[in-house]
């Protein structure tokens, strides 16, 4: 599997501009902003229905990968995005609805479609090694930079150890490289 990295905060604005084009520009921008503001995996995001988030303080779900319960507080920015995006939608509609249906039932966009949306937007502005998981890493990395609390980020991501979280955020690799730069044998 190809390794992906978090992006910088200023790149979020560039991606927003790049992604919000075409017929589904608003939905695609909402998808990106939801992803980068929740640190949820794409497999969990695509299963969210409107009724799970509309007029709620928290998003509650069981993570598909870990089978762990997650209760995530939604800030006012996220709640406003949800309210704007879900106008006219029913509670049982998927938050990121596909225009295709299966046997007359609505369904969410696919993981591949979400990947294409993000890849197209990031390639336009020259960001490489970006995938849906980069959004999760970005949120976690920026929270860590703001708080300096690796234990908090570990809990936020539902990781089982701080070492796992440090590696996930590529902090161990960066710190090791910094130490090497200050060391020489002459």
Q: Which of 27, 41, 54, 70 is catalytic?
A: 41
For residue 168, indicate whether it is catalytic. yes
Q: Which of 54, 85, 136, 137 is catalytic?
A: 136
Q: Which of 70, 85, 141, 159 is catalytic?
A: 159
CB 118 within 8 A of CB 32: yes
For residue 85, indicate whether it is catalytic. no
- Give the closest residue to 24 by CA, choosing from 92, 103, 113, 94: 113
Q: What are phi and psi of 133, to 5 degrees?
A: -70, -20
- The CA-atom distances, in angstroms, between 36 and each of 7, 9, 103, 105, 183 are 10, 10, 32, 28, 37
For residue 170, indicate whether it is catalytic. no
Q: Which of 133, 139, 141, 144 is catalytic?
A: 133
For residue 58, indicate whether it is catalytic. no
Q: Which of 3, 65, 71, 179 is catalytic?
A: 65
Which residues are within 8 A (CB) of 130 and not within 5 positions of it... i.e. 6 or more apart? 4, 5, 7, 118, 119, 122
- The CA-atom distances, in angstroms, between 15 and each of 25, 132, 140 are 12, 13, 18
Q: Are strands 58-62 and 105-108 parallel, antiparallel or unpaired?
A: unpaired
Question: Active-site positions?
Answer: 41, 65, 133, 136, 159, 168
């Amino acid at each position: 599997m190809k390794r992906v990295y978090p992006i910088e905060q200023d790149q979020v604005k560039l991606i927003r501009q790049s992604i919000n084009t075409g017929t589904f520009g608003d939905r695609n921008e909402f998808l990106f902003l939801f992803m980068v503001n929740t640190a949820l995996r794409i497999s969990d995001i695509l299963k969210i229905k409107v009724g799970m988030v509309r007029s709620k303080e928290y998003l509650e779900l069981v993570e598909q990968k870990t089978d762990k319960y997650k209760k995530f507080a939604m800030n006012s920015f996220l709640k406003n995005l949800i309210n704007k995006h879900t106008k006219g939608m029913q509670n049982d509609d998927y938050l990121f609805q596909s225009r295709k249906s299966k046997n007359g039932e609505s369904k969410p966009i696919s993981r591949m479609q979400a990947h294409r949306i993000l890849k197209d937007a990031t390639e336009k502005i020259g960001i490489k090694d970006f995938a849906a998981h980069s959004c999760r890493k970005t949120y976690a990395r920026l929270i860590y930079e703001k708080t300096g609390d690796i234990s908090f980020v570990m809990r936020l991501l539902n990781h089982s150890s701080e070492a796992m979280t440090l590696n996930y955020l590529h902090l161990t690799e960066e710190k090791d490289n910094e130490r090497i730069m200050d060391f020489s044998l002459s």
